[in-house]
Amino acid sequence: MSLSVVIVGGLHADARRATVARLLADVPDGVVLHHDLATAAAGTVVRTVRDAGGVRSAGEAPLIDDCACCALREDLVPELRRLEDDGTTRLAIVELWDSVEPKAMTEVVVAGGLTVTGVITAVDPALLLPCLGNGDDLADVGLAAAATDRRTVADTFARQLEYAPVLAVVDSPEADDEDRELLAQLHPTARRVPVRGGHPAADASARAYASGTSPGPSELATAALAGFDVEAAAAAQHPACALLPAEADAHGVATFVWHRDRPFHPERLYAALEDLTCAAARSRGRFWLADKPDVLLHWDAAGGALCVESAGPWLAALPDAAWELVPPVRRAAAALDWHPEHGDCCQHLVFTSPGLDRDGLERLLEACLLTDAEYAGGRDAWKRLPPAFDTLLEV
């Protein structure tokens, strides 16, 4: 029997457990593999393997370099290989610990020669905004995966949400239309699958499928076995070719897409960072600074905190011979934004939030661009502008 692996993650622990339970009920010969990183302070990570009948095995993996995630990486593939060699398991459900991000673990599993057929993030819509607004460090809430883990609750949850092509959305009596609309706008291309944990009709359907009397698998099981392209998923997260949301406005939630072909003045943008970062629950994209005209910069904000990073050169800054080394998906993305003078250099920022002040946000962004006179000075003059972002970029 060929082993399929599905990765299930998310900070919403109850939603994640309900999703795992539903998969276990829906797919015959499935097992759940889980590493509990909460014991990392004691120097170990606890691993359990269980099926519908209960715990099959349990063990411990020692920490590596004081990093629980490193221990997980070293232990995960050998355990999955044991399940594959056993030949009795159809689906291995890897239930990630709260703050573990699915991208890293999916790439580890694929690099280990195993087949990932699905990546799912479990979501309780009522907890969406509280998580995106939580700027606390993971270490402060007991969820850090290593002593050096500097991630926040908000940015971790945002990456968990946006990487997965499937969102398992649990029934939540506290969720309203605004919560569900926020989820839809944050990840509009995701397949959203309802999970009704404990619902008698769903339980009966699962039993029928397991016994062979049902016409087919549940929507969740189908999504878990549909297949997954790890390279396409990575490309969709890369700032140069990310699949960013489109304009939207419904149920009090809006997504504002701002696209311009003129660079930012570094000092004026830096002075506006706090207001821009706090203007939306989530903002992301790529941007262009006048004093670093050849560098593609990544904008990633959630929970009132902003991360700015260099993502390498714009394609327009590369010699023609180097284009053959660039992935086709990046060349295609650049072609969509290509400007006759500046190539792919541009501003492409997306802000999503309830109660978004689109007009105020647009005015603030426009004020940060080079003026006509500054723009006319050309690249040599731009490069002499004060380098306000060097500290953020650790230049």
Asked if residue 109 and residue 78 are part of one domain, the reply reads yes
Handedness of CA 160, 165, 170, 174 (dihedral sign): positive
Question: pTM for this one?
Answer: 0.90
Amino acid at 75: D
Q: What is the pLDDT, as a whole number, of residue 333?
A: 86
Asked if residue 157 and residue 60 are part of one domain, the reply reads yes
For residue 53, give the CATH number of its domain.
3.40.50
Asked if residue 157 and residue 225 are part of one domain, the reply reads yes
* Integer Cα distance of 294 and 319 in angstroms: 12
Q: What is the pLDDT, as a whole number, of residue 154?
A: 96
Q: How many residues comprise the chain?
A: 395
Asked if residue 168 and residue 265 are part of one domain, the reply reads no
Asked if residue 26 and residue 101 are part of one domain, the reply reads yes
CB 191 within 8 A of CB 223: yes
CB 74 within 8 A of CB 64: yes
Q: What is the pLDDT, as a whole number, of residue 198?
A: 40
Asked if residue 291 and residue 162 are part of one domain, the reply reads no
For residue 122, tell me if it sits in a domain.
yes
Domain boundary among 202, 229, 256: 229
* Integer Cα distance of 282 and 186 in angstroms: 8
For residue 322, give the CATH number of its domain.
3.30.1220.10
For residue 236, tell me if it sits in a domain.
no
Domain boundary among 174, 200, 229: 229
How crowded is residue 390: how many other Cβ atoms within 10 Å of its Cβ?
12
* Integer Cα distance of 364 and 344 in angstroms: 23
284 phi-psi bin (left φ>0, alpha ψ -120 to 50, beta other): beta
Quickly count helices (H) and strands (E) in the chain. 15, 14
Residue ranges in the chain whose pLDDT is less than 70: 1, 197-216, 395
Q: Cα separations (Å) of 321 from 123, 316, 318, 366?
A: 45, 12, 8, 35
Please tell me whether residue 386 adopts helix, strand or coil conformation. coil
Asked if residue 265 and residue 201 are part of one domain, the reply reads no
Asked if residue 265 and residue 169 are part of one domain, the reply reads no
What domain range is 380 assigned to?
A: 248-393
Amino acid at 380: D
Asked if residue 209 and residue 274 are part of one domain, the reply reads no
Q: What is the pLDDT, as a whole number, of residue 201?
A: 39
For residue 130, tell me if it sits in a domain.
yes
Q: What is the pLDDT, as a whole number, of residue 199?
A: 39
